[in-house]
Structure 1
């Protein structure tokens, strides 16, 4: 476990960066030209970034980026 202290401005910036990173990963996951191994790596990274974002975001904001297993299964094909 690693702890960090952020001021309000830094929290907002980190929140913004995490959202943009998740947006990019979601776009990549919709690209069916990507190899399956790459898609799996992106999904794993998305889960990590999502957990980080969950520490900053409200439940309403978090629901915009939540992925369910059905969506993940459909995107695999």
Structure 2
């Protein structure tokens, strides 16, 4: 998975991603979610599209804002 570095289950939304990240991305986009970064305190969609928090297999659920930012960064 290009987002969290877990095992990819195939191509989802244009990149190799695991089911977890693909589902997270789908829900976030379809429901027009706004997430606030735990570290920065900024909302995803602001100009600061920088991943500050760790997004890997064991920490991917810690900060939704950084996870969505990374999804967009890698081309989803």
TM over 0.5, shorter chain: no
Greater RCO between the two (CA within 8 Å, min separation 6)? 1
More strand by share: 2
Q: Which has the larger radius of gyration?
A: 1
Point out the structure with the larger helix share: 1
Normalising by structure 2, what TM-score?
0.32
What is the TM-score when the length of structure 1 is the normalising length?
A: 0.32
